[in-house]
Amino acid sequence: MIENKKFNTSYNYAFIDETTKKEIRRKLLKAVCIPGYQVPYSSPEMPIARGWGTGGLHVTLAIIGQSDVLKMIDQGSDASVNACNLRDFVHMTTDCATTFDTREATIIQTRHRITEEKLSDKQIMVFQVPQPEPLRRVERYEYKTRQMHAESDYAKMWLTLYEAYVKWGDVMQGAGYPVMVNGRYIMSPSPIPRWDVPNLNNSECLYLFGAGREKRLYAVPPHTKVEPLEFEDVKFHVEDFSNVKCESTGYNVAYMDEMYQDDGVTKKFYVNDSNFLDKLIEKEEVVQHSNKYIKKIKDALQ
């Protein structure tokens, strides 16, 4: 128990009561059993507003133990206000250790990025998800999207990709590119950039997704096949950084931030993942995720 000094009452360990945590864990087990399937859950009230990471927080708090080491990132950064506050909150209610170091962490809660550094089978990554339903853009009714998932009725989803290709000559969707999980469910990977999408495939670690406002949990277990939707002749591709370089390190085989300078015209690029950037600057040895897209870029560099 952690004392709350202000109201002189005690919070339960990890803020949420045990019964509710148990419920969330049970739903997570179900999610792991049916990769990509959205499991409805209670989504209890939290001391932050829905839409600000409550889903991720629910998952983290439901699974965290005192021996866990938490890393909290927001769009690749450990230091953003959001990441700091959420990290402080979890730390306050659990007394767990926290870290910036990706390798050290056992639980990494994230908003809109997967770490550049490869994750191991000892690690769990928790995503904050604003909109868990990948079909929402093509079908506004929940009862219909559920039916579409149940029947693998995904032609409309494919059709939006076709229409995008017809209109713009490419499938333009940048964040949250839809993926097919285990050959069965189309899943929204949360608004991660395309760069990260291939890293969901056949991973060592467990990926858990929590959408607090929409009250849905889902998961990608280790070694699950996750494929971005692509046509036989119009292929998925990741962002192209071949013409830019990180200002601090000169590196460019990573997802890059584009920073406008004070003059409002010139822009500089930096590696987005702050811990990865630190390690590059310190010239530490880092093992990056490997996937066919990164491999191709690295091959081209040699």
Q: Of 276, 226, 231, 275, whose CA–CA distance to 251 is shortest?
A: 276
Q: Confirm or reject binding of residue 152 to other proteins (CB under 8 A).
A: yes
Our CA angle for 269, 273, 276, nearest 5°, is 105
Query: What 3-state class would DSSP assign to 111?
Result: strand
Helix and strand numbers (H, E) in the chain are: 7, 14
Distance CA 84, CA 87 (A): 5
Least distance (Å) from other proteins to the CB of residue 146?
12
Binding span for other proteins by CB under 8 A among 73-81, 107-115, 158-166, 240-248: 158-166
Return the exposure string of 247-284: e unless at least 16 CB atoms fall within 10 Å of the residue's CB, then b.
eebebbbbbbbeeeeeeeeeeebbbbbbbbbbbbeeee
Site string for other proteins, 129-148 (x = CB under 8 A): ------------------x-
Q: How many CA atoms lie within 13 A of 114 on its CB side?
A: 29
Distance CA 179, CA 207 (A): 14
Binding span for other proteins by CB under 8 A among 149-157, 186-194, 256-264, 294-302: 149-157
Site string for other proteins, 195-234 (x = CB under 8 A): ------------------------------------xxxx
Q: Confirm or reject binding of residue 158 to other proteins (CB under 8 A).
A: yes
Q: Confirm or reject binding of residue 45 to other proteins (CB under 8 A).
A: no
Distance CA 102, CA 116 (A): 9
Using the rule CB under 8 A, which residue among 45, 47, 162, 292 binds other proteins?
162
Using CB under 8 A, count the residues that bind other proteins: 18
Q: Confirm or reject binding of residue 166 to other proteins (CB under 8 A).
A: yes
Least distance (Å) from other proteins to the CB of residue 231?
5
Binding site for other proteins (CB under 8 A): 147, 150-153, 155-156, 158-159, 162-163, 165-167, 231-234
